[in-house]
Amino acid sequence: MLLGLRYQHHQLSLGVQEARGLAEAAAQWLLNGCTPAELRHALAAGLPDGGVRCAVGFLRHRLVEKLPPPAIPRPASAPGLQPLVTCAGPGPAHAFRPLDTETHCGPCRTTRTATVTGNSSGPASVLAHGGGWRAALAAATGQAACSGAHQPR
């Protein structure tokens, strides 16, 4: 990466030995969580107006003075995605990702609620029992579902 700085700005040309001498300082940036692109930008952006007289000295100074603090480690107990579970509702078996300890997917919960309240013909009920989107739309709008074939007028 250090040898490639010459392609960003000709004043930052380094020899192999010079790059080896700076490699440990550059590696510390990467260990602190900096990406190679961020490191390249930190070293090559905002060069002095008068130019760089000594590339190795200039880069060493930037590597030491601009070193970012170590990245904050992520907590090991970060919540991940819940595993998929099989819905215990009616209709064909299907999986969903529960938010907590749910046993029914969203449409099946809606169907259960509609059944308890007496409204079991809604679109969620149609979808939960294997109906397609056309049947669910028909249930929502109160119209008969079309077969999907285009009927000329």
Please give the Cα distance from 8 to 73 (Å, whole number): 32
- Cβ proximity of 120 and 129 under 8 Å: no
The pair of structure tokens assigned to 129 is 């029992």
The pair of structure tokens assigned to 71 is 């990245």
Question: Consecutive 10-residue runs of the chain (153 residues): their mean pLDDT?
Answer: 89 92 92 90 90 92 91 68 86 86 85 64 55 66 57 51
Give the contacts of 31 (CB within 8 A, at least 6 positions apart). 70
Question: Half-sphere exposure of 119 toward its Cβ, with a 13 Å CA cutoff?
Answer: 11
Please give the Cα distance from 120 to 117 (Å, whole number): 8
pTM value?
0.48
Instruction: Report the pLDDT value the prediction gives residue 28, as an integer from 0 to 100.
Output: 93
Instruction: Report the pLDDT value the prediction gives residue 59, as an integer from 0 to 100.
Output: 93
- Cβ proximity of 33 and 71 under 8 Å: yes
Instruction: Report the pLDDT value the prediction gives residue 9, as an integer from 0 to 100.
Output: 87
Instruction: Report the pLDDT value the prediction gives residue 126, as an integer from 0 to 100.
Output: 54
